[in-house]
């Protein structure tokens, strides 16, 4: 059992498997990790980057989920399904709809910036402890509230007027649903729209060009043959505070903190989330500084 291995590996989830199926039937089975998790659920039909967390790294899932993402999506216009993608039941078809290139470009620009987006009913969002998608399948009426997200950029990669289809690259904040984005773009163009292919190409510092695919994974004999990112590496976007050696045990025991326990206490500390490291740059905690007080988010013993 690889119980002493801790870190994050950048894997490529194939289409046709849920994240749990991919992680448990392939990754966990092959390497026999004691604990394993992943960050950022991908739909079964979607593919791309899936950061897999090994052993103690499972503690940082929520921090990785907060990272910005990038997706490449194929969107087909003139059709509407219940799941907002190609796997769903067709609700309506717009047989006379023809894409207009200038109008598409103009419409895509409308969605860049901070916007409110209503998540798909077929999603993993919890309502009273149950997934929205499970409630819908059980015949329940599900109403999800719009949520604020941020779309940094939308790039039009290709355009096929015969298929009424485009391919776009979307850079966005956490919580963005590309299926919902496609739906809303379609509405703006007075038609239906669904996602026919979805690839997550970036997640935080992870890039698709470095992701290990299923075929490569199956050939690997030992975990040491894989690039394993440290917890400190993947959380590097958070600024760090270095604790004085005499106060390290305060943190490991969850005692109250103040700014004078840190080497860099002379610098002003603004509200936000920080990595706490020791003098050897080992990550020992994640804390939030707010209203001149420190709050523990996670301690790594």
Check 43, 85, 184, 278 and give the catalytic one. 43
d(CA 276, CA 243) in angstroms, rounded, equals 7
- CA-to-CA separations, 79 to 56, 104, 201, 223, 267, in angstroms, rounded: 45, 16, 26, 45, 56
d(CA 96, CA 164) in angstroms, rounded, equals 11
Q: Which residues lie across from 154 on neighbouring strands?
A: 170
264-272: long-range pairs with CB below 8 Å, 24+? 269/241, 272/238, 272/239
| DSSP-based three-state secondary structure for 113 | strand
* Pair of tokens at residue 67: 């990272």
Whether 96 is a known active-site residue: answer: no
User: 97, 78 in Cβ contact below 8 A?
Assistant: yes
The residues carrying an active-site annotation are 43
């Amino acid at each position: 059992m690889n119980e002493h291995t801790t870190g994050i590996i950048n894997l490529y989830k194939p289409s046709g498997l849920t994240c749990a199926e991919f992680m448990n039937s392939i990754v966990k089975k092959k390497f026999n990790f004691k604990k394993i998790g992943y960050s950022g659920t991908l739909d079964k039909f979607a593919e791309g980057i899936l950061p897999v967390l090994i052993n103690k790294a499972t503690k940082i899932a929520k921090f990785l989920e907060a990272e910005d993402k990038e997706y490449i999506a194929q969107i087909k216009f003139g059709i509407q399904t219940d799941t907002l993608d190609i796997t769903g039941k067709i609700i309506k078809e717009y047989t006379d709809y023809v894409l207009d290139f200038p109008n598409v470009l103009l419409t895509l620009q409308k969605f860049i910036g901070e916007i409110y987006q209503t998540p798909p009913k077929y999603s993993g969002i919890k309502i009273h402890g149950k997934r929205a998608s499970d409630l819908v399948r059980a015949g329940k009426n599900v109403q999800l509230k719009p949520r604020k997200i941020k779309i940094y950029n939308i790039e039009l990669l290709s355009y096929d007027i015969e298929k009424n289809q485009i391919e776009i690259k979307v850079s966005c904040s956490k919580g963005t649903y590309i299926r919902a984005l496609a739906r809303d773009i379609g509405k703006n163009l007075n038609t239906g729209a669904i996602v026919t292919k979805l690839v997550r190409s970036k997640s935080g510092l992870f890039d698709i060009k470095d992701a290990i695919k299923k075929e490569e994974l199956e050939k690997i004999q030992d975990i040491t043959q894989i690039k394993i990112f440290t917890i400190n590496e993947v959380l590097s976007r958070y600024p760090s505070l270095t604790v004085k050696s005499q106060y390290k045990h305060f943190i490991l025991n969850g005692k109250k903190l103040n700014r004078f326990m840190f080497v860099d206490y002379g610098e002003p500390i603004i509200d936000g989330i920080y990595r706490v490291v020791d003098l050897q740059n080992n990550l020992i905690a994640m804390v939030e500084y707010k209203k001149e007080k420190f709050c523990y988010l996670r301690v790594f013993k």
